[in-house]
C-alpha cells in the first residue's frame, strides 16, 4: 500500500481502489457484492467515513471518500478488506490473499480533479461494456448512494462541491501506484499549480486543452520550475507522457 504520511496530506478527498489478487473476480456474484456492501455498512457504523461515490465491479471496486483523519480511513479500509477476505475464503474453501493489495489510493486535491474522479468511477461499467450508460448499472452510486447518510456534515460537503451526476468533465484514466512521500507532495503541488493557472488566466480546463501554447506553458512551468515528473503531470492532466513530450518539444 502507498505510504501516506499525515504531514503530506492537505486534502480530505481520496480515490480508493481495491482489486482481487491476480485480478480474480472476487465480486462476481450478486450475493458476494451484497455481502461486501453489508460489511461496508456495518464498518461505517463504527468508523464513520463518508463515501461520496462508488462502483463495485466483478474484480475491483472504486470509492471516492471524504475523511479528514487519514488514520480513520486506513482503519476503515483495513477492517472492510479483512472481513471480506475472511468471508470469501470460508465460502469458497480457499486460502491465501483475496485482495491484490490492501488498497490503492490517490489524493484528490482540486475540484476539477474531484469531479473527473466521480465521472470516472461511474463510467467503469460502461468502459467494460457491461452497460451502455452508467445509470443502468445497479452497483454504483450513479442513481442512488446506498452509503449516503443525510447528516448535516455530509449534506454540507455535497452542497459545497456540487456533487451530483450531471457533470460535464473530460474522461480520464486514473493510475494507481505505490507512491512515496515525495510523489504525494508533487501530486498535490501539481494539482494546485493547475488550479492557480486556470484562475490566473481566467480560462476553463476544456478551453486550456485546446490552447496548445498555454498548455505547453503550464506543463513547462511544472516540469522546469517545480521539478514535477511528466508521469505525475500526465496523471493529473489526463494526458499521456508521449503527448506531453511531443507538445513540449515543438
Q: Does residue 58 carry a pLDDT above 90?
A: yes
At 250 the pLDDT is: 66
User: Does residue 162 carry a pLDDT above 70?
Assistant: no
Share of the chain above pLDDT 90, in %: 20
| Distance in angstroms between the alpha carbons of the first and the last residue of the chain | 38
Parse the chain into domains and list their residue ranges: 6-160, 181-248
Q: What is the mean pLDDT of the chain?
A: 79
| CATH number 3.30.70.1290 is the correct assignment for the domain at 6-160 | yes
Summarize pLDDT for 164-213 with one digit per residue, the tens. 544 443 444 444 333 334 455 566 678 778 888 888 888 887 788 888 88
Q: Of the given ranges (60-69, 116-125, 132-141, 158-167), which has the lowest mean pLDDT?
A: 158-167
- Three cell numbers at 98? 483475496
Most confidently modeled of 96-105, 136-145, 237-246?
Answer: 136-145
User: Residue 225 — pLDDT band, cuts 50, 70, 90?
Assistant: confident
pLDDT one-digit tens code per residue, 3-16: 444 445 567 888 89
String of DSSP letters for 182-212: HHHHHHHHHHHHHHHHHHHTT--HHHHHH-H
31 band by pLDDT with thresholds 50, 70 and 90: very high
User: Which range (39-53, 68-82, 146-160, 229-243) has the least confidence?
Assistant: 146-160
User: Which pLDDT value is given to residue 129?
Assistant: 92
Q: Return the pLDDT at 10.
A: 64
Instruction: Give the residue carrying C-alpha cell 455498512.
Output: 41
pLDDT average, residue stretch 230-249: 79
Q: Is the predicted pLDDT of residue 82 greater than 60, yes or no?
A: yes
Whole-number Å distance between alpha carbons of 162 and 181? 31
pLDDT at residue number 107: 80
Q: In the structure, what pLDDT confidence band is assigned to residue 117 with cuts at 50, 70 and 90?
A: confident
Write a three-state SS string for 124-150.
HHHHCCCCCCHHHCCCECCCCCCCCCC
pTM higher than the cut 0.75 = no
* Residue 80 banded pLDDT, cuts 50, 70, 90: very high
CA–CA dist 67, 58 (Å, integer): 26
Amino acid at each position: 500500500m502507498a505510504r501516506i504520511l499525515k504531514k503530506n496530506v492537505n486534502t480530505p478527498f481520496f480515490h480508493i481502489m481495491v482489486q482481487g489478487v491476480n485480478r480474480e473476480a472476487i465480486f462476481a456474484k450478486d450475493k458476494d457484492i451484497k455481502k461486501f456492501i453489508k460489511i461496508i455498512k456495518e464498518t461505517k457504523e463504527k468508523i464513520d467515513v463518508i463515501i461520496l461515490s462508488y462502483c463495485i465491479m466483478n474484480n475491483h471496486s472504486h470509492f471516492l471518500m471524504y475523511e479528514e483523519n487519514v488514520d480513520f480511513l486506513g482503519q476503515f479500509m483495513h477492517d472492510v478488506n479483512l472481513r471480506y477476505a475472511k468471508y470469501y475464503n470460508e465460502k469458497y474453501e480457499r486460502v491465501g490473499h483475496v485482495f491484490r493489495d490492501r488498497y490503492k489510493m490517490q489524493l484528490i486535491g482540486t475540484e476539477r480533479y474531484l469531479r473527473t474522479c466521480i465521472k470516472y468511477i461511474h463510467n467503469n461499467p460502461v468502459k467494460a461494456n457491461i452497460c451502455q450508460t452508467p445509470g443502468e448499472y445497479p452497483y454504483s452510486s450513479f442513481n442512488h448512494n446506498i452509503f449516503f447518510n443525510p447528516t448535516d456534515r455530509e449534506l454540507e460537503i455535497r452542497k459545497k462541491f456540487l456533487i451530483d451526476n450531471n457533470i460535464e468533465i473530460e474522461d480520464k484514466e486514473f493510475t494507481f501506484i505505490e507512491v512515496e512521500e515525495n510523489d504525494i507532495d508533487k501530486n498535490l503541488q501539481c494539482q494546485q499549480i493547475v488550479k492557480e493557472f486556470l484562475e490566473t488566466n481566467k480560462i476553463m480546463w476544456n478551453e486550456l486543452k485546446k490552447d496548445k501554447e498555454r498548455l505547453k506553458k503550464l506543463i513547462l512551468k511544472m516540469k522546469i520550475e517545480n521539478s514535477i515528473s511528466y508521469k505525475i503531470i500526465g496523471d493529473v492532466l489526463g494526458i499521456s507522457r508521449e503527448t506531453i513530450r511531443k507538445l513540449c518539444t515543438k
